[in-house]
Structure 1
Amino acid sequence: MNKNEIKKIFLSNTDEKLSIYLEILLSKCKDIARESNVIAIFMLILILLFYLTDFSKLESLQVGPVEINDVNSIKIFIPLVFAFLVFRYIIISAHKAELHKIITEFSSEYFDYENSIPVDELHMDDFTRSILPFSIYGEISKLAHKGKSKFGCFGAFLIFPISAISFIPFVLEYFWIKEFVLQFETLNFYQKSSIVLSIWIIIISIYYFIHTMIISVNENK
């Protein structure tokens, strides 16, 4: 949805309808923020579990109410679950970005807010940020915004490693899958299927990410 389409929504609806719409948007943002946190926790657990299986002394593992008796047997299925979580995270992140774009236009049109400091598509104004659910990344991203201070470039340099973290899941998935691909002939049908599905999901994730970015760039021209 581009800016013109968003503005048409504002012009063709009453304040009451727009108020309900804003409430729905904010509710969805809260749900997405909550799910993103849950996915991140599960991803960390899977990373820990994958490398814990390398310890031969570890025969069983208790994860909440679930007890895993043979840890090594599930190692090959971890990349599949992890790939699905990555795919899910990318999808909801793209949806969150779309919601944030709509709310940004909403704050400009509905509340007649004009930010004194120019912002680009990657940075959110303070008013919009104030009505959205708290986001650590959203707060940290202010450091990279040149309009906030004379040290914007320095801030961008400082938070670059944080931005690079988003590529870690793909790097981990690559090395995990590579390990099993080298042993592919020795795997059984279910294990081979798990690896093939993992590769397929990761390819879809990368394609979806690139496709969404291209659409976003075209809409913001």
Structure 2
Amino acid sequence: MKNKNQIKILREQIDEIDEQLFDLLDRRFGTVKKLSRIKRKIKISITDIQRQEKIIQRITQKYNKIDPKFIEEIFLSIFDYSKILQLYKIENKSLIKNLQEKPLLIAGPCSIESKEQIETISNFLKENGIKFLRGGIFKPRTSPESFQGLGIDGLIYMKDAAVKNDQYIVTEIMTEKQLDQVYDFVDVIQIGSRNMCSFGLLKAIGKKTAKDKKPILLKRGMNSTINEYLSAVKYL
């Protein structure tokens, strides 16, 4: 009986600690949002890789009884989630109207490589009346050693440029995880030619977009017939 009471007490203590952890995380994420707003105003990079490395190093040294790999994994997850928080949801009521314009022009870099690059391109497109800004943030590459894209950082850069120039965002999604990560922050979901036959991904995107009718840009697969392309469309 004594042991059972001790177990109950210790579990209650653990529950209390868990809540404290998430209270602190909530405070951290709130501070990150404030910081990102200031960074946007003074036009400096939202992500600071060197600072992230210093944080991991400092905490690893201070709490040296905890596995450093475990500490690193925790902070990498926190950093990734923090990037998502620094984005803001899209509310473009005139999207469908602009999609109906003919000819419809979508332009932008195959891969976003820097903040300066996407800003320059976005400005050029605005000068030429192009409303749809396309940019790759996740890039499929034959070689694992090739540049794979900037990920969420690239989306942040593109989002800032698009909002500034009153443009819509078009970007490619390659996995269901990426779909969940960026869905609320893009205007048009692009499916690349390599994924035209990724039927699991097509189903997931179709299910997701069925709720809000978000537009999809499906590229025809290499060597695919028209019938195969139309069959892929049916999954969506």
**Which structure: greater strand fraction?**
2
Q: Give the alignment's TM-score, normalised by structure 1.
A: 0.28
TM-score w.r.t. length of structure 2: 0.27
Q: Which structure is richer in relative contact order (CA contacts within 8 A, separation 6 or more)?
A: 1
* The structure with more helix, counted as a fraction of residues: 1
